Structure 1
Amino acid sequence: MKISPLPLPPWEPAKRTLHHFLQIIGKVRKARMPVRNHWWNLTLYVDPRGVSTRGMPLDEIGNQFEIRLDLIGHRCEVVTSRGEEVGFPLERGLSVAKFYHQLNGLLEKIDAATPILARPYDLETDRPFAELTDVADYEPEAVTKFWRALLWVDGVLKEFAGRFYGKTCPAHIYWHHFDLVITRFSGKLAPPMPPSASAVERDSYSHEVISFGFWPGDDKVREAAFYSYTYPLPEGITDEPLLPAGADWVDSNGSPMAFLPWTALVGSPNPRQDLLDFLESAYTAGARRANWELEKLKYESFEGRT
């Protein structure tokens, strides 16, 4: 597979609009799902046609419903285990306000009206979704191009996740910052965070982790990129080597983070192996410096063994 460039500026307005859509369906999932450790109850998932909430509780007798953004056919679809299928088109120029109102209409149709905190989280505005008529730059072609990259990365992350015996989260999207992530856990508690830390931080970093992510870029990083960080941060991690060429340690809010720009994969004869090398080298760096039990946590399939 050849990797195409993914610069942020050409599709930044569409990315901003899509990000709001993801926050809306993600907040519905958060409101509907039972609480899980490390906020796994609110994440979204890449699927063969787009991004999905997967099944969520619908009623007291066990029915479920799912919201999917179909980024091939460009529709928002809601399906239930009772057989209902409703939706609306994701049209060029669809605003956040219209998306929000139309989705609420679908949920009311299936008796799944879901109150949420209906304003963006940690974006450039905190105006209610219902007022965001000016965030209206949905571009089907640009969104599909990015989703296909997301789908490819999702597959690589799943392969990498399978090499580890310990607790590992699914490959999932944290919609607050638009990251596709997997996280490995050593099984050990992390030092308690200060009382000033938010509930999000305390739950996310209650245990030792090495996290790996992909995101489309932001106001500082103007293209898609991969990253990895280790928490708690061990001394000397930046002395560890990273692969492939183009990977480096960068500063992220005062702490080192392993970083691989998407452009480092463009033109590579084997971008999948290059990405796996990055993930493996970043993991080895963090695990070695944090004294994780690398050999005990390494998984190799028993199939084919004698």
Structure 2
Amino acid sequence: MSRTMWPQLRVADWTETRDTLHMWTQIVGKIRLAHAPLVNHWWQVTLYVSPRGLTTSAIPYRAGVFDIEFDLLDHLLRMRSSNGTHRTVALEPKPVADFYRETMQALGDLGIETRIQAHPNEVDPAIPFSEDRQHASYDPNAAQLFWRQLLQANRVLGEFRSHFVGKVSPVHFFWGAMDLACTRFSGRTAPSHPGGAPNCGDWVMVEGYSRELSSCGFWPGGGEEGAFYSYAYPEPHGFADHPISPADAFYSPDLAQFLLPYELVRTAADPDRAVADFLHATYEAAAEHGDWDRAALEEDPNRWQEHR
């Protein structure tokens, strides 16, 4: 894949927009949380990369469904109900408080009664949405470039996911930390997670990390233009010292994870290969040092290629 498909977006150039968009995605994610039944590790609360931005996918409501999409091409929040009605909220510079009010009003206009925990999680301070006039920036070009970063990350993570036949998450966007993630599981239970995320109950982390895992993804931090990451829980002995590639990837003791800065991917001769090498090598670090049954968990995704 050409490196020109991997857009440049310096974190420092869009921090205010990023932080506002983060709060907006939390509001929409919490709407999904309010209506979707629990799925292990909170998989029911996530967003997904779509052809236009980020979407909730279909959310059950009474005898029907609705969805919400951040359309980052037309810069609209689109809400659609299976009863044929729809509403939009403009994505433009505005305080979180206004976005929250307009979004909840639009849901009400659709006849969708919703109550959410109206404050953010995994951030500090956690300003209640109805009071947050601090986060009010929206650069449409930056928001769209971020989505285009996610498009590339989603595509490569999806290919990586296809090599695993054990329990594995979708490639999905967690609005708590604002990261695109894919998680593989060994099949064994894990020690209870100690929690500690800001403004987030420890029980949330206990559910999220209830099984041994190797998780990877992309988030708009960790490098000048964001970073790919990979970690294991619980982290097995020898994980941090395992040889990985590309050569510029490294283990961060502070974050307890491997990092590959996005700008190194974007400027690589083969960006797809650089990310794939990183994902496979860091998963190997978790699986080998964690004594995973790799023969039972991995498979060639091209095994039926001749019949397709």
The Cα of 1:120 is off from its aligned counterpart by 1.7
Contact in 2 for aligned 1:95/1:138 (Cα 8 Å): no
The Cα of 1:259 is off from its aligned counterpart by 1.0
Quickly say closer, same or farther: Cα 1:195–1:38, change in 2 above 3 A.
Answer: closer
User: Which letter does structure 1 place at the counterpart of 2:37?
Assistant: P
Contact in 1 for aligned 2:97/2:130 (Cα 8 Å): yes
Quickly say closer, same or farther: Cα 1:167–1:124, change in 2 above 3 A.
Answer: same
Distance in 1, matches of 2:16 and 2:142, equals: 10
Quickly say closer, same or farther: Cα 1:178–1:296, change in 2 above 3 A.
Answer: same
Contact in 1 for aligned 2:9/2:142 (Cα 8 Å): no
Q: Partner residue of 2:20?
A: 17
Q: Partner residue of 2:241?
A: 239
- Which digits, 9 at most, give the CA deviation of each residue in 1:202-254, with x for residues without a partner? 11221110000210017xx553001111111111112311111211111135x
For structure 2, the residue ranges without an aligned partner over 5 or more in a row are none
Q: Partner residue of 1:285?
A: 285
Quickly say closer, same or farther: Cα 1:304–1:147, change in 2 above 3 A.
Answer: closer
Q: Partner residue of 1:183?
A: 183
For structure 1, the residue ranges without an aligned partner over 5 or more in a row are none
1:114-125 matches, within 5 Å, as: 114-125=114-125
Task: Report the number of matched residues.
Answer: 299
User: Which letter does structure 2 place at the counterpart of 1:78?
Assistant: M
Contact in 2 for aligned 1:52/1:66 (Cα 8 Å): yes
Distance in 1, matches of 2:11 and 2:271, equals: 20
Contact in 2 for aligned 1:245/1:264 (Cα 8 Å): no
Q: Partner residue of 1:97?
A: 97
Q: Which moved more, 1:260-269 or 1:13-22?
A: 260-269
- The TM-score normalised by the length of structure 2 is 0.92
What secondary structure, in the 3-state scheme, does the structure 1 residue paired with 2:45 have? coil
User: Which letter does structure 1 place at the counterpart of 2:214?
Assistant: I
The Cα of 1:125 is off from its aligned counterpart by 2.7
- Which digits, 9 at most, give the CA deviation of each residue in 1:86-133, with x for residues without a partner? 112212x12211111111111001111210111121323322211222
What secondary structure, in the 3-state scheme, does the structure 1 residue paired with 2:44 have? coil
Q: Partner residue of 1:26?
A: 29
What secondary structure, in the 3-state scheme, does the structure 2 residue paired with 1:245 have? coil
Distance in 2, matches of 1:37 and 1:178, equals: 19
What secondary structure, in the 3-state scheme, does the structure 1 residue paired with 2:136 have? coil
Contact in 2 for aligned 1:168/1:185 (Cα 8 Å): yes
What secondary structure, in the 3-state scheme, does the structure 1 residue paired with 2:137 have? coil
1:205-244 matches, within 5 Å, as: 205-217=209-221, 221-244=223-246
1:62-211 matches, within 5 Å, as: 63-91=64-92, 93-193=93-193, 198-211=202-215
Q: Does 1:260 align with 2:260?
A: yes
Distance in 2, matches of 1:112 and 1:195, equals: 33
Distance in 1, matches of 2:211 and 2:128, equals: 34
What secondary structure, in the 3-state scheme, does the structure 2 residue paired with 1:149 have? helix
**Percent of residue pairs identical:** 37
User: Which letter does structure 2 place at the counterpart of 1:64?
Assistant: V
Across the aligned residues of Structure 1 and Structure 2, the Cα RMSD in angstroms comes to 1.8
Q: Which moved more, 1:106-115 or 1:236-245?
A: 236-245
